[in-house]
Amino acid sequence: MIPQSFKDIVSSVENAGFFQTLAMIIFILFFLVVVYIVINRPKKYYKEEENAPLEKDDDENQTL
């Protein structure tokens, strides 16, 4: 039998609810860690990044 949908694949696995819950917990923890890192960066870090040049001013990048 070839599974026709994702629901068929998930329903055939034992403890599917556990794996779905585990995946959601890992995603939420990752998201919270990223938010924590961004919030706790000093504002000076973002000021330096804000003034960074977007492109080099080399002649190599300027083509006619």
pTM of the model: 0.56
Please give the pLDDT value at position 61: 55
Among 31, 34, 6, which residue's Cα sits nearest to residue 20? 6
3-state secondary structure 22-63: HHHHHHHHHHHHHHHHHHHCCHHHHHHHHCCCCCCCCHHHCC
Q: Which pLDDT tens digit goes with each residue over 2-46?
A: 667 877 777 777 888 888 899 999 999 999 999 999 999 887 877
Q: What is the dihedral of CA 16, 19, 21, 24, to 10 degrees?
A: -130
